[in-house]
Structure 1
Amino acid sequence: MFALATIALFVAMVLVLIRLFNGPTLYDRVLAVNAFGTYTVLFIGVLGFLNGRPDFLDISMLYALINFVGTIAILKFFRYRAIGDTPRPSDQAEGEA
C-alpha cells in the first residue's frame, strides 16, 4: 500500500516538474516549485516509513520549513525586487538633510 503511495507521489512530482517548465506565468512556476517541495516532504515521509527509519520524518519536517521560507522569499523578491530592507527615496532625502 505504501509502495503504491510512493509511486503515485513520484508520478505527481514528475507532472509538477512538467508544469514547472511549461507554466505560462511566473506565479504558476512558483506554485509548481512549492507543490514539488510539498510532494518531496510527503515522499521522504513515506520512504522513511517504508524503510523503518523514523528519523526521515525529522528531515522531512526540516525540508517543509525550508520550502515554506523559500517560497515566501521568492514571492517577496518578485513583488518588491529585493529580499532585504531597502531604503525608500523619501528616507534617503531625510538622511541627507
Structure 2
Amino acid sequence: MEILIVEDEAEIANLIQLYLEKEGFTCRCARDGLSALKIFAEQKPDLVILDLLVPGLDGLEVCARIRSRPRDKDPYILMLTARGEEIDRIVWLSTRR
C-alpha cells in the first residue's frame, strides 16, 4: 500500500512514516500543499494522511483537488489535525463528492 503523508512538522511526519514503514507500507512525505499534489500525481497513493494546516494550499484545498481528479479508485483520506470544532468537520464534509 502506498501512503502519502502531508504534514509540515518534520517530527510528526517522520514518526508516522517510521511506524507505517515498520509495518511494511511504502510512504512519501510532503511538507506543503503544492508538494503534496505533485507527489500525489506521481505516486497515486492508496491513502493520504493529510494535515489541514499545511503551508501553501491548506489541507481542505488539497483534499478538494484530489477528489476532483478522475481516477479508477479514489484514495482514502485521513485528516490529521488539531482542529476539532464542529464547524471544521462540517467544512471537511462539504469537500466530499
TM-score normalised by L of structure 1: 0.30
Larger strand percent: 2
Bigger CA radius of gyration: 1
More helix per residue: 1
